[in-house]
Amino acid sequence: MNINVGKNIRMSEFIDSKDGHSLLLDLTITSSIGAQPGLENISEVLRQLNTVFDGVIVNPGQLEHHANLLGGKSRAAPLTRVDWTNAYRDKDFCLPATKITRISLSNGEDALHLGASAVVSTLLLGFDEELESENIKSISLLARECYRLSLPLVVDVRPIGHKISGSNYAGSIKLGSSFMMEAGADALILPDCDSETCRLIGKWATIPVLLRFDEIPSAEKIENIFNAGIRGVVLSEKALLIPGFDDKAITLKFFVHH
């Protein structure tokens, strides 16, 4: 008997139970750096794309205001990001970050009341030890709450701190993946990485792993990452600016699921 049947049912809302693959769209950058090109009208984006993607990652407020455009048999499942960070603000931003922080904005119970199929939490890597330890503690406690609620926890691993370099980038992704599986994550979102790292994590991970892209990956790239054991693709908000994105997203969905 599966004691986490509720969690498995919710996971199947955004990870296809037939092929085990998933195609997600992440629209949550607006909470940190404001509306970006292509995201001036999230309602319109959701109307156009909610039947193309298996799931859409949104902030709690956006889920509350757009519940009619998400979920159900034919629309993308809502996943809600429950934290906020200023880590994406560079020196050219109108309010540049002088100290990197990350805070929780919501929790599993709130996400469940909003109708979310899963919660998404961010693991920031490459910053100071205090931020890293608080980040891991926060996610670990969230995992325990989500377990009690039978709510999937997806962790978005972001190796973007000043300590990250070309020499330790892949190692940071592996380390972050290990941390989060130990903490109790049900799925991982990782940045695109080299084929060796994909194969290692895909073979070793005991939970679904998805890769994040700013552009639409080619059919060959998708085939390679799936052969390596990766289970899905997450497109960032930057992909919305690609000419003909709507049609290309439909083609991408075919590649992911067929």
Q: Would you kindly state where each structural domain of the chain is located, as residue ranges?
A: 5-257
Q: DSSP labels for the chain?
A: --TTHHHHHHHTTTS-TTT--EEEEE-TTHHHH---TT-S-HHHHHHHHTTT-SEEEE-HHHHHHTGGGS-SSSSPEEEEE-EEESTT--TTSSS--SS--EEE---HHHHHHHT-SEEEEEEEESS-HHHHHHHHHHHHHHHHHHHHHT--EEEEEEE-STT--TTTHHHHHHHHHHHHHHHT-SEEEEE---HHHHHHHHHH-SS-EEEEESSPPPHHHHHHHHHTT--EEEE-GGGGGSTTHHHHHHHHHHHHH-
pLDDT of the residue at 36: 79
**CA 131 distance to own-chain centroid:** 20
pLDDT of the residue at 3: 63
Q: How much is the pTM?
A: 0.95
Which residue positions in the chain have pLDDT lower than 50?
Answer: 1
pLDDT tens per residue, range 78-131: 999 999 999 999 888 888 888 999 999 999 999 999 999 999 999 999 999 999
pLDDT of the residue at 48: 92
pLDDT of the residue at 1: 42
pLDDT of the residue at 12: 95
Fold of 5-257: TIM Barrel (3.20.20)
